[in-house]
Chains A and B, each alone.
Chain A
């Protein structure tokens, strides 16, 4: 077992992990942060996306030990300080960008990373960026729309809900 210490959503946490423990498992099982989901075994689906030192990472593809000393942000830390939804979360609700909710944490975390690097993405840029996030419910229409709305762009021209 290896002792790891990291900052998760602004709080310092530590735990003993096996060498093979994935960051996703550490967050879910040791820290009880079950908003980070595991939807595949092959780093394809993106339900487990978190930010490690500000960069979007699939937490099923990183060992917990590799995140020792890092700053990790998960879906549980995304809301505003008063508990209200942040701009991206609110846009997902306003534009019905989620259905079953399972891919949603990863979508929100990926969207946040996209908008940090590209504050006004085009529709095509959003679609290409989401290549690593699979949603089976929404057909992506409202996810793309929500992300563009969250970036402050006018989405009224995109087909009505």
Chain B
């Protein structure tokens, strides 16, 4: 019988009720008393010198309360990069200032150079039109090769468009070069990991408010990590003391990475609220989201795989140019380096890995972590080149992978890219994938497709990712400027129900349902009496938020640790109530008992005693039952998986249809299988979207051609198949108390190469000599490749 509560139960989500009845509360739904509206003036050119900005006409417009330009923020700080990368020569990366509003130059289309605050959004919008900005257009820097070779700079003060030139592992460079030079066979592939726009369905929005009598600021904002946002605003941008700034991320309509970062609009609404003494709201329209949300991916890569005559991998060598856009977004420097290079050994025993990444400034929107963040790029490069190698060597792609897999008896396994994998079983995942995907039935399905005039292809993929981001000591050595622990407070109320305050933020992940399952399991009580509080820095402990598939592995572990403290104290109280040693108290099904006797008290009775401490040993035990824990993991977690895809390609039009998609993942232990499966589904759709339809296109002048849903193809319901998802092959993480690994990004990491491998298989089996097509594998590209 499946469980109906606690760990492992597919409990339906309690948060659904408010979302299904239209009573969720997203930032733009909030109307504060005397609220005003901000609208931004944004550059229409990709690169230009700001000669002058005349705001006088705008200031005279009806309803206008204030107009801000970059001049107003010259004295304050900038939005920092959260991760220092050193180049191969030891030089630190270039870090140009990222101001609240552009000053001196505009550096991408959408770069905000002024903002109007007015009584209504329409009045603010009208007044923005009246701002007279004299911006002298400069040549736009769009192409990364041109950026690296030219003398036209995005940031003149640094005199280069190269942010850094990073090598990993630098000590292996020569050995890797030699291995490739001397190998029996080398497979080479040049590929593009296409730029994507995260496209959370809720556009970004922020409301700043200020209380003059106390000097307190409040920011309601669309954030995945309210404490991190507060820290950035306080310590780096506006200098507001942290204890005078409350950041509230209420219901947030998806993030996928784009709402990790602090954006200038958040600082602007706070500064404006103080200036005019009223709350200021800004809500992005969708075009603003396209122009200014941090984009994802955008790597141009050459990868080489050296093999011996038996197909054993000898070395991976990767040369990547990573577009970071016009400014460094908070984690933009970590994504193409430590979230990418360290994964370049994949699931394999390959002894040598060398990765070179040059990060390049261009006159485009900033690029940062988007669902998967570096790991999709690593997986795509590795798994495409392996597929190409299999074809060149005439080997079965599954067998070639199996031949090189890390085997179950090799853990902990030190990968050639510097990570220590703690647990996994890649052959078991592949076995399960072959079963679930019915690989044996593929040839029959191919014949059916042929009969319809369609080319059917089969693609496979194996991936590993590093999640649970991550151990502070390790990331500190690698350049992180923040710690990456998380925190939870478990408050048992006097009447026996619980409030659990967590640093993680839920914007679709179902924490309000899954976290109570963990606490309920530990205490043996009904999860229905446990409530999760998140998103408000005035209510929750200092946690680092939700990204990198870390909520359960890191914050969930903090919940476990805090609950353990609750149990320990409750046992002391129970021992006193039962006149027994705390060491003789056991907890089962919400009842504390004295071992070997029939004496017991319920969890609720202990809670009441803690808050009404009559006849209570105050000299030994404090009243109350509330505990906080911070949890900093010992290592990353390493989810892995084996994916399969079957596509049908129409040779007349080049259209690719995904007919079957199978994802077999090792997430370790699973708390709520329904939620985990849903997370995989969403990742698969984003990965299939990247592979087949999504693309972000700038023209040579830096104009974003794909700036609306009319131009940027979002995956729709009829682009997707039903998915087959399995997570029965979990190997528990060895170093966190729940044995969990994280499931949020897997689908987006594992699926793009699977789809492209399937398309290449379809074309080659159909007699077309096509070795590679860059994503998105659109009908036009497929048709062209077939000619």
Contact = CB atoms under 8 A, between A and B. Distances in A.
Interface string B468-512: 000000000000000000000000000000000000000111100
A39 B682 contact: no
A85 B714 contact: no
Nearest to B747: A139
Contacts of A38: 28, 203
Contacts of A104: 19-20
Nearest to B714: A134
A118 interface: no
B254 A102 contact: yes
Contacts of B285: 41
Given A138-B682, A141-B681, A161-B674, A108 B254 contact: no
A42 B710 contact: yes
Interface in A112-161: 123-124, 126-128, 130-131, 133-144, 158-161
B22 A135 contact: no
A96 to B, nearest CB: 5
Contacts of A59: none
Nearest to A161: B674
Contact of B12 (A36, A96, A138): A96
Contacts of A101: 15-16, 18-20, 24, 251, 253, 508
A132 to B, nearest CB: 9
Contact of B22 (A36, A137, A141): A36
A130 B722 CA distance: 15
B720 A141 contact: yes
Contacts of B19: 98, 100-101, 104-105
B708 interface: yes
Contact of A142 (B251, B287, B678): B678
B22 A100 contact: no
B222 to A, nearest CB: 10
Given A41-B285, A102-B202, A159-B723, A96 B20 contact: no
B678 A100 contact: no
B709 A136 contact: no
A109 to B, nearest CB: 10
B254 A136 contact: yes
B686 interface: yes
Nearest to B251: A101
A151 to B, nearest CB: 15
Contacts of B254: 99-100, 102, 136-137
B710 to A, nearest CB: 5
B253 A100 contact: yes
Contacts of B579: none
Contacts of B573: none
B351 interface: no
B17 A37 contact: no
B413 interface: no
B35 to A, nearest CB: 11
Interface residues of B, number: 62
B51 interface: no
A18 B125 CA distance: 15
B611 interface: no
Contact of B26 (A41, A102, A138, A158): A102
B253 A37 contact: yes
Interface string B672-703: 01110111011111100000000000000000
B714 A92 contact: no
Nearest to B721: A141
Given A99-B254, A142-B678, A158 B722 contact: yes
Contacts of A135: 201, 717
A87 to B, nearest CB: 12
A8 to B, nearest CB: 12
A138 B681 contact: yes
Nearest to B26: A102
Contacts of B21: 35, 75-76, 78-79, 85, 89
B714 A136 contact: yes
A45 B201 contact: yes
A136 B20 contact: no
A102 B15 CA distance: 12
B784 to A, nearest CB: 27
Interface residues of A, number: 61
Nearest to B506: A100
A159 B10 CA distance: 15
Contacts of A32: 31
A130 B17 contact: no
A61 interface: no
Contacts of A131: 716-718
A82 to B, nearest CB: 13
Interface string B708-749: 111000111110101111000000000000000000000100
B13 interface: yes
Contacts of A85: 17, 20-21
A47 interface: yes
Given A76-B21, A96-B12, A139-B685, A39 B201 contact: yes
A81 to B, nearest CB: 13
Nearest to B253: A102
B26 A159 contact: no
B26 A105 contact: no
A20 B120 CA distance: 13
Contact of A127 (B13, B17, B684, B717): B717
Contacts of A102: 26, 200-202, 253-254
Nearest to A94: B12
B29 interface: yes
Interface string A38-52: 111110110100000
Nearest to A79: B21
A46 B555 CA distance: 34
A12 interface: no
Given A34-B22, A44-B710, A74-B22, A140 B17 contact: no
A33 interface: yes
A136 B256 contact: yes
B576 interface: no
A103 interface: yes
B286 interface: yes
A141 to B, nearest CB: 5
Interface string A66-81: 0000000011101100
A144 B718 CA distance: 10
A143 B645 CA distance: 21
A9 B530 CA distance: 34
A40 B686 contact: no
A157 B718 CA distance: 19
Given A99-B509, A100-B201, A130-B716, 8 more contacts: A18-B122, A41-B286, A85-B17, A96-B678, A136-B682, A139-B747, A140-B717, A144-B722
30 contacts: A34-B25, A34-B28, A35-B21, A39-B202, A39-B253, A40-B708, A75-B20, A75-B22, A76-B21, A76-B22, A89-B20, A96-B675, A100-B202, A100-B252, A100-B508, A101-B508, A102-B201, A104-B19, A123-B722, A127-B720, A128-B717, A128-B718, A131-B717, A131-B718, A134-B714, A134-B716, A135-B201, A139-B685, A140-B715, A140-B717
Interface of B: 10, 12-13, 15-26, 28-29, 31, 122, 199-203, 251-254, 256, 285-287, 507-510, 673-675, 677-679, 681-686, 708-710, 714-718, 720, 722-725, 747
**Which 6 pairs of residues, A with B, have the shortest CB-CB distance?**
A35-B22, A101-B19, A102-B253, A139-B685, A100-B508, A99-B508
